[in-house]
Amino acid sequence: MKSLLLAPRRTAFGVGLLAAVSLLAAQGQAATAVADSRPGIVVRNGVTQPVFGYADAIREHVWVDAPFDSDHDGENDRISVDIMRPRATEHGLKAPVIMDASPYYSTLGRGNESELKQDTDGDGLLDKWPLFYDNYFVPRGYAVVLLDMVGTNNSTGCPTTNGTPDNLSAKVAIDWLNGRGTARDADGTVVSAPNWHNGKTGMIGKSYDGNLALATAVTGVEGLSTIVDIAGPSNYYDYTRKNGVVTRSNHYVASLANTVTDPDRRAHCAPVREEISAADGDATGDYSDFWAERDYVKDAANVRASVFMVHGLNDDNVRPDHFSQFWTELARHDVPRKLLLSQEGHVDPFDFRRTAWVDTLHRWFDNWLQDVPNGIMKEPRVDIERAPDVFTSYRDWPVPGAKETSLRFQPAADGGPAGLAVKPPNGRPVELTFQDDPAQTESQMLGNLSEAGQNRLVFQSEPLTAPLHVSGTPVVRLHASADQTDTNLGAVLVDLGPQTRVSWETSGEGIRTLSTEDCWGESSPSDDACYKQTAKNIVTSDRERISKGVMDALNRDSLTTPEPLVPGTKYDFDLPLLPVDHVFEPGHRIGLVVVGSYRSYSSVADQTRANISVSTKVSDFRLPLVGGRQAASRAGL
């Protein structure tokens, strides 16, 4: 054990006991030696230092009793929890917990290198711990908990893909950590709540793991102090469909439940998956109680923990509306929060901004779990990647000063695209008509935008004369009719102009993995702290898709109650695109493409092949522009 293990215990503000010891000495009290002998964290330069061992850390494995029976076998489920904590916790150190709850520890793995949990010697304790959290934070006075979501790896029960048992898996562990539940060891002996825990837990995770952190936060469970959500779905309806359109294959929820279940339990869990498929409503794409159970946005008012969100603006897996909707609710309820937005796709910040990320995460956890006053909450709330590896800080998101600004549809030149400008269109109302083509791909939708085409509408601004910053959620407002009782509507926002960009559309979603490694934390004979480095994939292109949107016309007024169209009747359709934070450079054009079915976005394209007519005089494109209409005027719109 390192000699610094017995450093003076620090106060909640990370200050040593020097002043307190001096005071005690002055008062003639003899208890100073006792205080000095108790282990405590060491803080220098505003962060905890690695003064505790890693190789000699205590490893434990318990099963927490859950209050649900997900597989209907007549016995409540047990949630498997692997714990690593500094040995100093046996001698008085009170440690907070960093928890990564996941369904992937025995199936898909975690991190860029798909690491799995491994018990190599068969003693029931983990030898290989995925990710760097244990290597880095245990030596700094933290306990790390890797939790197997219900029905996965060593937990009993069956996965429900964001159903109630999934959502409560981590909550029951936090309850146990704080003395409100029971746990058992491998022999079935009851394990009491740990006396080494300081009462604070922080959850972290990417994708499904981040989703479980959000699910736990909206329970308002006492003892959850912070979450770090990296690209986690906040509303599973919007993960599998959007505005009434099914965007992933039918019965995707049951399919994912099957994926995360260990092969030897898939047959046992088949009845649960059948229940899921019977309730998912894939035939309609409408919102229902099934989806409300999997919607955390509606429950954001319950959040008592601080929230750090990370998301790729070009994430086509967990799309950026998942951060924006939850973020908006956090702001409404004044939840302490922080946001990092990147130009990559579904990529962990450890793999697109490693050094800065580890430093920021370290200070975030120190502040919220160790009470170290390092000033992180006084820093700008939001960091956004403006260009490859170029980040800009802002006070909030949407960027302050963003105002919804209407760009009107201008008359088209012969055979060319229609215009986009802030001024109202001149002349008599113009009807633009196109036919929905369910076979049209995104590549075809965005090809040769100098022509309108039979199966789309194309709108372009004049070249901009100044930068134009879009921050927020664009909305295409169409006053339109169709000659069928149903159709889909889709739209794409495009930046037209040469620029060096993150190549997020290629393999790796903006990064590539190198053969070199760097190390983050301490290693043991069974678990090293080293990970392969990455580099940005960069491309210079003349065009980039910035955002997109899709909707079922039947759900124009309600996600729960579809209403058929009356052929030939005009309706107002508000089609929101995915949230944006993008700067259009001078000389670039803003492009907008409107279609019917959006095959590359939805799993099943609408087959009505409707003819759709749009009244341009009373339709517009509403962009959240930083600086509003004045910024649009400066840019020549």
Give the strands of the sheet with 95-102, arranged side by side: 190-191, 183-184, 58-65, 78-85, 143-148, 95-102, 197-206, 224-230, 306-312, 337-342, 382-387, 390-394
User: How wide is the angle at C-alpha 62 spanned by C-alphas 59 and 64, nearest 5°?
Assistant: 145
Residue by residue, what is the 3-state secondary structure of 597-616?
CCCCCCCCCCCCCCEEEEEH
Residue 227 CA to residue 309 CA, distance in Å, equals 8
Residue 346 a catalytic site member = yes
Residue 311: left if φ>0, alpha if ψ -120 to 50, beta else—which one?
Answer: beta
Q: One of 251, 311, 322, 346 is an active-site residue; which one?
A: 346
Cα–Cα dist 376/525, whole Å: 35
- The amino acid at residue 593 is V
Give the count of alpha carbons within 13 A of 377, CB side only.
Answer: 13
Q: Which of 102, 155, 207, 471 is catalytic?
A: 207
Is residue 299 annotated as part of the catalytic site, yes or no? no
Give the C-alpha separation, 531 to 68, whole Å.
38
CA distances in angstroms from 434 to 179, 456, 575, 613, listed in the order given: 64, 6, 17, 7
In angstroms, what CA-CA distances link 208 with 79, 249, 445?
A: 17, 18, 32
Does residue 56 have an active-site annotation? no
What does R_g of the chain's alpha carbons equal in angstroms? Answer: 27
Q: How far apart are CA 109 and CA 99, in angstroms?
A: 16
- Residue (of 162, 167, 159, 182) closest to 81 by Cα position: 182
Cβ–Cβ < 8 Å for 375, 366: no
Q: Which residue has the tokens 């070199």?
A: 516
> So which residues are the catalytic ones?
207, 315, 346
